[in-house]
Amino acid sequence: MSGGFAYDRPMATGVSTVDLEAADAGVLLDRALGELGFVELVGHGIDLTVATRFRTMCDRFFALDATAKADYVVSAPLANRGWRSPGSESLAYSLGVDAPPDVFESFNMGSADRGTSEFHGVTPWPTDRIEGFEAAASAMIAEFERVSALLDRVVGEIVGVDLGPISQHGPDMMAAIEYRSGHATSFDEGQLRMGAHSDYTTFTLLMADPVPGLQIVGAEGSWTEVQPDDGALLMNVGDLLAMLTNDRYPSTLHRVVPPGPDVPGDRRSVAYFHYPNLDVTIAPIVLDPAHEPDSVYDPIVVADHLRSKLAAPKTRERSTGTNTLAGREAT
């Protein structure tokens, strides 16, 4: 995304880059997701003018004082909408782990076209203070929806499940996420900007400033840094795709750590969380019976999985939902 920091650091070892416009994109994507559940995407076609305009609107929103931003809080713990203040979540609880509050803020939003439910919620657009915010956000959501539909098609062809029709009304959510040096002058022991977690999605798409901070558990089981190229997308497998593919595509444990002394203190990202429809039952598919174990997971309805995960970081009650990270925790 243009307007980010110019901070030259390499991508993490093992994170592949796939050009979605390449003739063999499906083969390369299958290989990359199978190796790590995490990939950098180029050739995605997202209009960077749209992305820059939306990011500008987000900068204006996050520059408001806390009293003004509090007008856009949605308190229902399952409704993934509205402003989340620094310290209001602790994502490690989604894995059943106690941890200090995370030090980030976000504004979560979604398209009304996907319907309403306890998970969709209604976005409290801040258009009374920032003219054009909803229009800019809607244009950005449309870009992510297009890429998600493409990936549904590519991944669906590989795993033999038509993901498009079962994902048209999922509770997709876009989050503008802000990490500022002013959010915390110091960090408690074990406290992170964003706690270690897996996503609850089919997959998540991330467009972020090329600034250090994001870390994933790499192929060797240790934390390793991922810094995207400017304008590229990061894609990570979520719980539901890991379950569907019987861990052929593993979900990836990831976190955002505090900045070091020589790292810019401010970091911005926009994440798009893509889900199947709430009433879909996710049942593992054993694609290669000769080389894969029997089903690792029990079938689960999407709504039940989300209900077991979404509220935990906000209520500080440990989730007892399905953990897709067995054997892939950080060492």
Q: Report yes or no: 233 and 205 within 8 Å, Cβ to Cβ.
A: yes
The closest alpha carbon to 274, from 80, 83, 137, 96, belongs to 80
Can you give the pLDDT at residue 10?
Answer: 38
53 in the Ramachandran plot: left (φ > 0), alpha (ψ -120 to 50) or beta?
alpha
φ, ψ dihedrals at 170, nearest 5°? -65, 155
Asked if residue 96 is part of any domain, the answer here is yes
Can you give the pLDDT at residue 1?
Answer: 31
Rounded CA Rg of the chain: 18
Asked if residue 84 is part of any domain, the answer here is yes
Asked if residue 320 is part of any domain, the answer here is no
Asked if residue 6 is part of any domain, the answer here is no
Q: Report yes or no: 123 and 110 within 8 Å, Cβ to Cβ.
A: yes
Distance CA 124, CA 107 (A): 10
Q: What is the pLDDT of residues 127-146, one digit of tens each?
A: 999 999 999 999 999 999 99
Can you give the pLDDT at residue 210?
Answer: 87
CATH code at position 143: 2.60.120.330
Asked if residue 231 is part of any domain, the answer here is yes
Can you give the pLDDT at residue 221?
Answer: 84
Can you give the pLDDT at residue 296?
Answer: 85
Tell me which residue has tokens 């390449």: 22
Low-confidence ranges of the chain (pLDDT < 50): 1-12
Q: Which residues pair with 235 in a beta bridge?
A: 39, 205
The closest alpha carbon to 101, from 330, 259, 253, 313, belongs to 313
Can you give the pLDDT at residue 181?
Answer: 83
Can you give the pLDDT at residue 11?
Answer: 44
Asked if residue 141 is part of any domain, the answer here is yes
Asked if residue 163 is part of any domain, the answer here is yes
Specify the 3-state DSSP secondary structure of 87: coil
Residues in the chain: 331
What total number of domains does the chain contain? 1
Range of the domain at 98: 16-314
Asked if residue 321 is part of any domain, the answer here is no
